[in-house]
Homo-oligomer: A and B are copies of this chain.
Amino acid sequence: MLHELFTPSVQHALDLVGIFVFAISGALLAVRKNFDVFGIAVLAEVTALGGGLFRDLIIGAVPPAAFSDLGYFITPLLAAVLVFFLHPEVERTQNAVNVFDAAGLGLFCVTGTTKAYDYGLGLTSSAALGLATAVGGGVLRDILANEVPSLLRWDRDLYAVPAIVGATIVALCIRFDTLNAATSGVAIVTAFLLRLAAMRYHWRAPRAWNRRSAAAEEG
């Protein structure tokens, strides 16, 4: 099993860290949207577990890990409680949250890709599903909050590219039979650092060519 890149306990601990930081970002958005305590918990759960849930439904791994591992379910609730009581403090540490979110992004794109490949998907599909695992929770979070997913917006720092790079590194390692804990770690760290750089230097992705002419047509 490729999936067992790290010892199970290390893998599980890393998963819980990723889930926790994603849950924090969901809970914070819920507070900003003025949701009540249940809205905060729901948005924390959906953000943290949505991407992995989608992946598990696609590969047929039912019931999904989100429903078979109690730790996966409890962790977002802890994040929701933390934000509920301490959100001004958590907001103030937004930079720290962003760093953890970047770590979650790197982690999930790598574990998502390897799990998809373990379940028999091709390399390209595995990388695509790894990307979906990493960004899916955030997209569901924004849909529930009735906002345009920040993944899709041009005025946000690059988010997809680091995950694409991480998933691609994993796929290439599988292709050349060199995937192990070390190369996986390289993929995670690369995606993580790329996301940090994107936030630091406000890297943006281009919008469609000839926007001007389009705008003129619209106007």
On A, residues with C-beta under 8 Å from B are: 30-40, 42-43, 53, 57-60, 62-64, 67-68, 70, 73, 83-88, 91, 116, 119-122, 124-125, 128-129, 139, 143-149, 151-154, 160-161, 204-211, 213-214, 217-218
* Cβ contact of A148, chosen from B33, B129, B160, B210, cutoff 8 A: B33
Contact across chains for A160 and B38 when beta carbons are under 8 A apart: yes
* Cβ contact of A206, chosen from B37, B57, B148, B213, cutoff 8 A: B37
* Cβ contact of A63, chosen from B43, B59, B207, B209, cutoff 8 A: B59
How many copies altogether? 3
The distance in angstroms between the C-alpha atoms of A148 and B42, with both chains bound, is 13
Query: Given known contacts A59-B62, A122-B70, is B144 in contact with A208 (CB within 8 Å)?
Result: no
Contact across chains for B87 and A34 when beta carbons are under 8 A apart: no
* Cβ contact of A208, chosen from B40, B204, B206, B210, cutoff 8 A: B40
Q: Interface SS of chain A: helix, strand, loop or mixed?
A: helix
Q: Which 5 pairs of residues, A with B, have the shortest CB-CB distance?
A: A39-B152, A60-B62, A36-B154, A36-B205, A67-B125
Contact across chains for A146 and B148 when beta carbons are under 8 A apart: yes
**15 A-B pairs whose Cβ atoms sit less than 8 Å apart in the complex:** A30-B152, A32-B214, A34-B211, A36-B154, A37-B205, A38-B205, A39-B154, A42-B151, A58-B63, A59-B62, A67-B121, A67-B125, A70-B122, A86-B209, A91-B217
